[in-house]
Amino acid sequence: MTESKTPSTRLMLASEAQTEALGERIGAVARAGLVVGLYGDLGAGKTALVRGLARGMALDGRVRSPTFTIASLHRGVVPLLHVDAYRLEDPTELALHGWQEWHQEGVIAVEWAQRVESMLPPRHLRIELSHRGEELRQGHIQVRGEGQDDAVEQAFLAAIVC
């Protein structure tokens, strides 16, 4: 049995503005069912990417890390559920925040996704952000799971076109 290769790429992000622009490109093509798992240390740019995602989805309102509330809903034609899993003890707690409903009806962006990997759908976009200097970040973007010509693939293609 051969394992299929899923698309991935690495991008250098020279500023917070470039990290937001990456999110904005993804948001411009985002559609219901897209789940974006965000990985990276504190200050790596996870929330900046979600700010850009919301802007690309034409969502109003201030986007900030929902660390203490766990999840923030940003309403729009396609809503965005912004989750911060840092403080979750049990991944199944996401059900209390409307995980299943929003997975069907909107886009979900999950900061600290490694804490809730068991809840992520098999098909999702994985973005790892890492420090490469004071302002410089590296983004590793991967399509996870099988499928084609879906919300995940469209988001990946938008991410890699600068």
> What does the pLDDT profile of the chain (162 residues) look like in tens digits?
344 577 899 999 999 999 999 999 999 999 999 999 999 999 899 999 999 999 999 997 777 776 667 778 888 889 999 998 888 778 777 777 667 766 678 999 999 999 999 889 999 999 999 999 888 999 999 999 988 778 899 899 888 875
Given this model, what pLDDT does residue 89 score?
Answer: 79
Given this model, what pLDDT does residue 20 score?
Answer: 94
Given this model, what pLDDT does residue 44 score?
Answer: 93
Given this model, what pLDDT does residue 133 score?
Answer: 83
DSSP string for residues in the chain: -PPPPPPEEEEEE-SHHHHHHHHHHHHHH--TT-EEEEE--TTSSHHHHHHHHHHHTT--S-----TTTSEEEE-SSS-EEEEE-TT-SSGGGGGGGTHHHHHHHSEEEEETGGGGGGGS-SSEEEEEEEESSSS-EEEEEEEESS-SSSHHHHHHHHHH--
Given this model, what pLDDT does residue 92 score?
Answer: 78
Superfamily assignment of 9-160 in CATH? P-loop containing nucleotide triphosphate hydrolases (3.40.50.300)
